[in-house]
Structure 1
Amino acid sequence: MAHAPPTLQDQASKSLVKNELLTISDAECLIRELFPPLFKEANTQSKAEIIKILVEYWPYPCLHVGLLINKPNFQNFQAILDGVDTWLKRKYRPRMCRLQKVDFRGEQHHASLDMQDEREGRDHLVGTMPKKQIVESHSRTRKERLRLFSDLSFMSSLHEDKNQTRLLEWAEERTNFLHLCCEKLEIGAVEVSKVRNVLKSLQPEFIKELELNTVGNLSKLAKLVPFIRKMRNLQKLMLVRTFGTRTFTREERWNISKIISLFCKLSCLQHLTIDDVYFLTDHMTELLRCLEAPLVSLKITLCQLSQSDLESFAQYWNYSQLKHLCLRGVTLTNLDVKPLRDLLRHVAANLETLDLEDCRMDDSHLSTLLPAVIECTQLTSINLYDNDISEDVLEYFLYHTTNLSQLTTEMYPAPSEVYNESKYVVVEIFIQICAELMDKLMDVRQPISVCFGSYSCFDCDDRYLYEDDGDVTLCLCQE
């Protein structure tokens, strides 16, 4: 497809930037519509001085940096900060326009957003605030400071983002003139003191998404709790990879209670992920009871759940709006899954995705869950890979999925009969049995996307796959 020829505006922008013809007096006279294309072009040609001038005289209430350019280099990034700095210090505001927000976040935060539209910056937050907070928020608007938005990541001290480091240093020196706001925050294996200093300078009510990857340090996680409590509009929380022993000291037990109590304060929480976290075993009842807002998604992966943890799923907690449930890598082999069956029945009217991959279930587990699963008529995706299910039970399960007409993605384990005594796949048997199961499923309904997958190969860690169109993918060893 041929590219459209450059417009007269494009050519003028390139010429102005290339020859560095834009001066402060020119910027004062430029029509508003020329600022965005000139800003993009100046970034493309790495003309830092022009970027600085454009920011100084930016004619819109919002400067959506992430919408205009993708990840500016350090020189251009510094030029943006210098331009904002000049704007902050200037007593006379040109064009009677007050710059209200500078946003460094990527394009995903600016879908269908007009450069002149400032409502996105405040209304999207107010919609999630309790009435008391809305009143407090409006009472502060008279002396509103410049708001500067950026996603922040502190996953490792070894790979620091140069732009982020400079931004934090720059913002810390100007706390009297601006608010540093962050909607998505990631915290990993870094010094607690460093993260706490940043958290003190952030506006906690703006944080909507938080990932905590503290790599084994329970005390570090507990030290962050007082700051997380203030994140009153937090919608998504991920606790990732916290390791340790199975026996706790008195201090560790106190830290666990402190962390769990945090959930009572997160009244807007909708999405909870707990991934490879050891200390919540035997504490799921306390955690689920703490949830004030109804969860939309619950993802628990690579965690060890006890029978009491599983029983807490069926007890009363805020599951009325649950649409996504994932227990991937949670071993259920020696557990009674009736509480999980009861939970599935409770959420059957809303549940859209169910992921039970690598739960090491056998025939009895799947048979117990079947009556509840077939009631989940809104399911669009189901994943049962890496469970030890026989051909007869899997066929029986598929036969009873007639009412699951919304399914678009189905992933089922290859039956246990496809493996030899050494637990390797016998290719001919794999193809034959999977083909028979597919035919029997198509007698029941017309699936959209179905795949039968083996356990990962011991040697190459790849799966054998049989798809609904008859395509067979062998592991790398066989290919």
Structure 2
Amino acid sequence: MSPPKPLSHRHPKTPLKTLSITNCRLSDSDWNYLSRFPNTRQLKHLELRGIKLTNFSPEPLKILLETVAATLKSLDLETCRMTDSQLQALLPVLSRCSQIRVLSFHGNRISMSALRDLLLHTARLSQLSIELYPAPLESYDAQGAIHPGRCSQLCAELTAKTPEDEQRTPPTLQELAGRSLLKDKSRAILALEDLPIQLFPPLFMEALNQRHTEVLKKMVQAWPFTRLPLGALMNTLQLGMIRVALDGLDMLAAQQDRPRRWKLQVLDLRKVHGNFWRTWSGAVVDACSPGVMKERQTVKASPDTGPTLPLKVLVNLCLQQRPLNAFLSFLFHWVDERKGLIQLCCKKLQMCSLPVCTIEKILERLDLDFIQQLDVQCFWRLSTLATFATYWGQMSNLRKLFFSHVYVSAYASQEERDQLMDDITSQFAKMDSLRRLYLDGVFLLEGRLCQVLRLLKTPLETLSITNCQLSDPDWNDLSGSPNLDQLIHLTLWGSTLTSFSPEPLVILLENAAATLETLNLQDCGITNSQLQAILPVLSCCSQLRVLSFNGNDISMSVLSNLLLHTSRLTRLSLEKYPAPLETYDAQGAIHPGRLFQLIDELMEILRDVREPKHVLFYTKPCHRCGNWFIYNLPSSPCRCWLPA
């Protein structure tokens, strides 16, 4: 008898309606043959749950989906370890699977941006009734633990209704009128003068989708609102269409007589999810997201006034590419050619790795008063940093300052160094609005931290000092700063406190007890005695929601005492603690049985004093894989010693 043919050559005689391959190991040849399988052309249900696809090309699946696009009703790719790039490759063909009713992607590690693109590509899938997606990767911290607040925020952004979602519902009479109008471009352009105000946004969207460039130019020139939020459309808007919109503004500037309805004062190019394009009634169509209400109030014209110059152009800048990307290069060139007519405003500015001369040129273009968030990650000499500090001293509305790994190479005498540091720290006195200060791996302020804090004119809401080396004066003077009495978030993660007295921290917690919501003392080298010293004041921080002590060597008895002192902290929603020291053997290896026994005892203590919500216990890094085992976290990074 001849041997059986390989599976890939043994075909069923009738077309398959359902193909379910779950928790199987596919070879390269199996995967590549999938797209050529002749009896899958009428598939209605495709399930590949639990198939590890990480190392496979997405091309076979893409071809298969193209083949069954007209019939497929359910697609299950749960727990397939898909990557962002694999998912992105499938999106164009997925958007053509018009009969899909069930779509499952959860269990894959997908970023926020890739998930957003996925949802945008489902806009035309009007038959969808069940959709299962993973929480974005950005919902988790570095140890893999979920951050509840961040997760809720990101998922809310993803589920918020977007302009593309409107395609899932039957078109309104306004939409149908707009589509009819666009069939005759000349008639559409002539109608703009008398077009009802509520028809402008849907007509603009329709003209954009159909690439009616001349209509778009004329619509920009006749725009009847104070703000045009093009940035919210960046996922559909290409650079070419931005050029079209800006060409419309240029044509308007060349005209002596402006259209009577034009009131545009702000061109918003930020990728923010405002409700402008979702709110099409004339009464509220000019609304924007809560985060930009302040800007709206400052730029919105009264109904009887026309536009004023210069035109504000709003952007958020992330300067980390050399050379700058095509959009920023084009934008800066466009702004430079229209000096006096354009005011370039940036709310969030991030700088990383660009040459100083390039950054200076960009800063010279910006209205520095408008910047509210500044993120600096650069390798600079001290003299360069001092030069740049003069710019941030002009950012009078700066609310958030983030320094990460600013390593300063000094080629100066001690006297020159002190003078430069004085020049740098003095700029903090000009920051009238600073409320959030983040220092990560920054050593240049060692010995001057309290000097900086005392120069601030407003109380801080957030102080985050992570992976920094604090001096004795820094630590001892920390509690004496009057600008820390209203702290909401305090993070000292990775700053070694082992040799310091706990007294400054006790005083700091006492001062902020009425407002503090987050306390992160992870990986601080805190000892049993230090922790015991802060427990009485910790129990008075009644507003605490997030408490992190993991990464410290704490005994079972002290951990028990810590949990007892949290009995009145009823608002706690996330707690992170280290596994007790007694969990480990003499060589530092985890003893699994002892770990579960001790943590069960700790959880019992906690349940006796209050009702816990989300409590995690972290071990030290595993000797095998280098990751932590996290008790109470199903997706724990380390599972080496757990039973299969």
TM-score of the two chains, using structure 1 as the length reference:
0.88
Q: CA deviation at 1:458?
A: 4.0
**Could you say which residue in structure 2 is the equivalent of 1:242?**
406
**Could you say which residue in structure 2 is the equivalent of 1:313?**
478
Deviations 1:37-92 (A, max 9, x none): 12223333444443323212212121121345546211111112112222223222
Q: 1:240 to 1:121 in 2, by over 3 A?
A: closer
Q: CA deviation at 1:467?
A: 2.3
Deviations 1:192-247 (A, max 9, x none): 22222222221121111111111354333221122211111111111111124699
1:37 paired to 2:202? yes
Q: Secondary structure at the match of 1:277?
A: coil
Q: Whole-Å Cα distance in 1 between the matches of residues 216 and 516 of structure 2?
A: 49
Aligned counterpart in structure 2 of residue 374 of structure 1, from 539, 546, 564: 539
1:28 paired to 2:189? no
Q: Whole-Å Cα distance in 1 between the matches of residues 428 and 491 of structure 2?
A: 20
1:207 paired to 2:371? yes
Aligned counterpart in structure 1 of residue 269 of structure 2, from 62, 85, 104: 104
**Could you say which residue in structure 2 is the equivalent of 1:133?**
none
Q: Whole-Å Cα distance in 1 between the matches of residues 587 and 497 of structure 2?
A: 23
Aligned counterpart in structure 2 of residue 164 of structure 1, from 320, 324, 328: 328
Q: CA deviation at 1:303?
A: 0.6
**Could you say which residue in structure 1 is the equivalent of 2:521?**
356
**Contact 2:262-2:307 within 8 A present in 1 as well:** no
**Contact 2:222-2:261 within 8 A present in 1 as well:** no
**Could you say which residue in structure 1 is the equivalent of 2:640?**
477
Aligned counterpart in structure 2 of residue 90 of structure 1, from 255, 263, 282: 255
Q: CA deviation at 1:317?
A: 2.5
Q: Whole-Å Cα distance in 2 between the matches of residues 418 and 22 of structure 1?
A: 78
Q: CA deviation at 1:115?
A: 3.6
1:176 paired to 2:340? yes
Deviates more, 1:63-72 or 1:79-88: 63-72
Q: CA deviation at 1:311?
A: 1.0
Q: CA deviation at 1:122?
A: 9.5
Q: Secondary structure at the match of 2:374?
A: strand
Q: Whole-Å Cα distance in 2 between the matches of residues 412 and 267 of structure 1?
A: 37
Percent of residue pairs bearing the same amino acid type = 34
Q: 1:115 to 1:169 in 2, by over 3 A?
A: farther
**Contact 1:310-1:337 within 8 A present in 2 as well:** no
**Contact 2:382-2:409 within 8 A present in 1 as well:** no
**Could you say which residue in structure 1 is the equivalent of 2:384?**
220
Q: Whole-Å Cα distance in 1 between the matches of residues 441 and 510 of structure 2?
A: 27
**Could you say which residue in structure 1 is the equivalent of 2:243?**
78
1:283 paired to 2:448? yes
Q: Whole-Å Cα distance in 2 between the matches of residues 199 and 404 of structure 1?
A: 46
Q: Whole-Å Cα distance in 2 between the matches of residues 72 and 234 of structure 1?
A: 30
Q: Whole-Å Cα distance in 1 between the matches of residues 485 and 297 of structure 2?
A: 21
Aligned counterpart in structure 2 of residue 388 of structure 1, from 532, 553, 559: 553
**Could you say which residue in structure 2 is the equivalent of 1:419?**
584
Deviations 1:424-474 (A, max 9, x none): 322221111111100111111111111111123244232212229xx6947
**Could you say which residue in structure 2 is the equivalent of 1:124?**
294
Q: CA deviation at 1:15?
A: 5.4
**Contact 1:291-1:317 within 8 A present in 2 as well:** no
**Could you say which residue in structure 2 is the equivalent of 1:65?**
230
Q: Whole-Å Cα distance in 1 between the matches of residues 497 and 621 of structure 2?
A: 19
Deviates more, 1:243-252 or 1:302-311: 243-252
**Contact 1:303-1:329 within 8 A present in 2 as well:** yes
**Could you say which residue in structure 1 is the equivalent of 2:154?**
none
Gaps of at least 5 residues in structure 2 are 1-127, 130-167, 299-305
Q: 1:142 to 1:57 in 2, by over 3 A?
A: closer
**Could you say which residue in structure 2 is the equivalent of 1:137?**
none
**Could you say which residue in structure 1 is the equivalent of 2:124?**
none
Q: Which amino acid aligns with 1:259?
A: I
Q: Secondary structure at the match of 2:171?
A: coil
Q: Whole-Å Cα distance in 2 between the matches of residues 454 and 119 of structure 1?
A: 42
Q: Which amino acid aligns with 2:606?
A: L
TM-score of the two chains, using structure 2 as the length reference:
0.67
Deviations 1:11-33 (A, max 9, x none): 44445557756653233343222
**Contact 1:272-1:298 within 8 A present in 2 as well:** yes
Q: CA RMSD in A?
A: 2.9
Q: 1:360 to 1:423 in 2, by over 3 A?
A: same
Deviates more, 1:27-36 or 1:402-411: 27-36
Q: 1:281 to 1:232 in 2, by over 3 A?
A: same
Q: 1:152 to 1:80 in 2, by over 3 A?
A: same
Gaps of at least 5 residues in structure 1 are 129-140
**Could you say which residue in structure 2 is the equivalent of 1:258?**
423
The aligned length equals: 464
Q: Whole-Å Cα distance in 2 between the matches of residues 399 and 221 of structure 1?
A: 47
Deviates more, 1:227-236 or 1:35-44: 35-44
Q: Secondary structure at the match of 1:150?
A: strand
Q: Whole-Å Cα distance in 2 between the matches of residues 268 and 242 of structure 1?
A: 23
Q: 1:100 to 1:120 in 2, by over 3 A?
A: farther
Q: Which amino acid aligns with 2:253?
A: L
Deviations 1:305-337 (A, max 9, x none): 122111121113312321110111111122222
Q: Whole-Å Cα distance in 2 between the matches of residues 404 and 99 of structure 1?
A: 50
Q: 1:460 to 1:85 in 2, by over 3 A?
A: farther
Q: 1:435 to 1:105 in 2, by over 3 A?
A: same
Deviates more, 1:24-33 or 1:83-92: 24-33
Q: Whole-Å Cα distance in 2 between the matches of residues 379 and 326 of structure 1?
A: 13
Q: 1:125 to 1:311 in 2, by over 3 A?
A: farther
Q: CA deviation at 1:366?
A: 0.9
Q: Whole-Å Cα distance in 1 between the matches of residues 589 and 181 of structure 2?
A: 67
Q: Whole-Å Cα distance in 2 between the matches of residues 68 and 177 of structure 1?
A: 24
Q: Whole-Å Cα distance in 2 between the matches of residues 246 and 384 of structure 1?
A: 36
Q: Whole-Å Cα distance in 2 between the matches of residues 184 and 472 of structure 1?
A: 33
Q: Which amino acid aligns with 2:204?
A: F
1:190 paired to 2:360? no
**Could you say which residue in structure 2 is the equivalent of 1:293?**
458
Deviations 1:336-382 (A, max 9, x none): 22211110111111101101111121212211221221111111110
Q: 1:321 to 1:175 in 2, by over 3 A?
A: same
Q: Which amino acid aligns with 1:54?
A: M
**Contact 2:313-2:342 within 8 A present in 1 as well:** yes
Q: Which amino acid aligns with 2:471?
A: S
Q: 1:50 to 1:426 in 2, by over 3 A?
A: farther
Q: Whole-Å Cα distance in 2 between the matches of residues 21 and 13 of structure 1?
A: 14
Q: 1:169 to 1:349 in 2, by over 3 A?
A: same
Q: 1:477 to 1:362 in 2, by over 3 A?
A: same
